[in-house]
């Protein structure tokens, strides 16, 4: 069997509880990703999404279990994995160029200044900020700051991008533009992405797979939803695809009802659910069921 690029193998995370004992955020979580895949995670606040991302980033460790990336265990943060948080985390006293160049020179320490700046400039241009190199974060809009964060993350040419609700603080218009850019860049570069979002439409537009997490404590990966929409999709057109509403309804139904009541689903007679291999679900329109594979279906 082909080895997965990222393999989350039975991880648990427990914290000391205020009243003594341990609070279990999640227990025995299994999930894997292939190289070049764009995965979005959806689940209610507090279910442990950021904790999983921090473990993948090497910023936190699982209480039990392991994460294997490209055949190796994680040992702390690495420049192979770039993280983008909701707040951009730029150095306020450095210019756009200074912020990106700082990351580039941390990765390639022997590079000359001109080489570092040439490389950084390429990624600044890629996110549409050519011409703003000398500006400082305080002189930029929220969307532009987040773009610098994206340029900085991409500039180190990471094997994996980890994003924690990266667009949630932005207005709808800016969010849409950045979604387009991130999707284009990630497809062009074959980037492997693990992204947390609470925006269902963002997940539908961006993700190849959508991981549905139940509510905590003791959160689980209930299902993996495989996106049935064609890979060549446009943000303004996805809602016209026949499988868009089945897909959207499936995710919303999970968030509204099933994320809370998942245990009762498991208790139902005859229910088979293996936490090592959560079921992969492909919500498609009734007409599409007869014509597999749904992913290859023309719009």
Ligand X SMILES: Nc1ncnc2c1ncn2[C@@H]1O[C@H](COP(=O)(O)OP(=O)(O)O)[C@@H](O)[C@H]1O
Kindly tell me the sign of the dihedral angle through the C-alpha atoms of 40, 44, 48, 54.
Answer: positive
Name the minimum Å distance from CB 210 to ligand X. 15
Query: Considering CB distances under 5 to 8 angstroms, the limit depending on partner class, which of ligand X, Mg ion, none binds residue 297?
Result: none
CB-based closest residue to ligand X: 50
Q: Under the criterion CB under 6 A, does residue 25 sit at the interface with ligand X? A: yes
Question: Per CB under 6 A, which region of 44-52, 175-183, 201-209, 265-273 contacts ligand X?
Answer: 44-52
Place of tokens 């690495």: 78
Burial of 218 from C-beta contacts in 10 A (0-12 / 13-18 / 19+): middle
Question: Per CB under 6 A, which region of 29-37, 40-48, 105-113, 139-147 contacts ligand X?
Answer: 40-48
Query: Considering CB distances under 5 to 8 angstroms, the limit depending on partner class, which of Mg ion, ligand X, none binds residue 47?
Result: ligand X
Cβ 212 vs Cβ 259: under 8 Å: yes
Q: Under the criterion CB under 6 A, does residue 259 sit at the interface with ligand X? A: no
Query: Considering CB distances under 5 to 8 angstroms, the limit depending on partner class, which of ligand X, Mg ion, none binds residue 51?
Result: ligand X
Q: Under the criterion CB under 5 A, does residue 50 sit at the interface with Mg ion? A: yes
Q: Which of residues 204-243 bind ligand X (CB under 6 A)?
A: 216
Token pair for residue 19? Answer: 């009243």
Half-sphere CA count of 142, side-chain side, radius 13 A: 12
Q: Which of residues 110-169 bind Mg ion (CB under 5 A)?
A: none
For 253, other C-beta atoms within 10 Å of its C-beta total 12
User: CA dist 269 to 135, 265, 266, 272, Å?
Assistant: 62, 9, 8, 9
Query: Considering CB distances under 5 to 8 angstroms, the limit depending on partner class, which of Mg ion, ligand X, none binds residue 46?
Result: ligand X
Q: Under the criterion CB under 6 A, does residue 46 sit at the interface with ligand X? A: yes
Instruction: Assign residue 81 a region (left: φ > 0; alpha: ψ between -120 and 50; beta: otherwise).
Output: beta
Name the minimum Å distance from CB 178 to ligand X. 20
In eight-state DSSP terms, residue 254 is I
Query: Considering CB distances under 5 to 8 angstroms, the limit depending on partner class, which of Mg ion, ligand X, none binds residue 99?
Result: none
Query: Considering CB distances under 5 to 8 angstroms, the limit depending on partner class, which of Mg ion, ligand X, none binds residue 62?
Result: none
Cβ 184 vs Cβ 177: under 8 Å: no
Query: Considering CB distances under 5 to 8 angstroms, the limit depending on partner class, which of Mg ion, ligand X, none binds residue 105?
Result: none
Max Cα distance, the chain (Å): 66
Cβ 105 vs Cβ 112: under 8 Å: no
Selected binder of ligand X within 19, 20, 21, 45 (CB under 6 A): 45
Between 8 and 25, CB nearer to ligand X: 25
Residues that bind ligand X (CB under 6 A): 15, 25, 43, 45-51, 216
Residues that bind Mg ion (CB under 5 A): 49-50
């Amino acid at each position: 069997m082909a080895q997965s690029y990222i393999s989350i193998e039975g991880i648990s995370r427990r914290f000391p509880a205020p009243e003594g004992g341990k609070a279990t955020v999640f227990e025995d979580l299994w999930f894997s990703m292939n190289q070049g895949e764009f995965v979005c995670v959806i689940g209610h606040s507090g279910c442990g999404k950021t904790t999983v991302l921090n473990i993948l980033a090497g910023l936190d460790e699982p209480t039990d279990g392991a994460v294997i990336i490209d055949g190796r265990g994680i040992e702390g943060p690495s420049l192979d994995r770039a993280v983008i948080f909701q707040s951009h985390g730029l150095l306020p006293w450095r210019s756009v160029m200074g912020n990106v160049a700082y990351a580039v020179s941390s990765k390639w320490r022997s590079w000359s200044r001109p080489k570092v700046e040439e490389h950084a400039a390429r990624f600044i241009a890629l996110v549409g900020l050519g011409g703003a190199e000398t500006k400082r974060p305080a002189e930029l809009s929220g969307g532009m700051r987040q773009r610098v964060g994206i340029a900085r993350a991409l500039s180190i040419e990471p094997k994996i991008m980890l994003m924690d609700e990266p667009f949630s603080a932005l207005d709808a218009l800016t969010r849409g533009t950045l979604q387009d850019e991130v999707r284009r860049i990630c497809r062009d570069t074959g980037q492997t992405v693990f992204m947390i979002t609470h925006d269902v439409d963002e997940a539908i537009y961006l993700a190849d797979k959508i991981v549905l997490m139940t509510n905590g404590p003791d959160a689980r990966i209930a299902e993996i939803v495989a996106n049935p929409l064609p890979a060549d999709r446009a943000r303004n057109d996805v809602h016209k695809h026949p499988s868009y509403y089945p897909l959207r309804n499936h995710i919303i139904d999970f968030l509204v009802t099933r994320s809370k009541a998942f245990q009762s689903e498991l208790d139902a007679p005859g229910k088979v659910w293996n936490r090592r291999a959560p079921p992969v679900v492909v919500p498609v329109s009734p007409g599409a069921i007869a014509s597999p594979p749904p992913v290859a279906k023309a719009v």
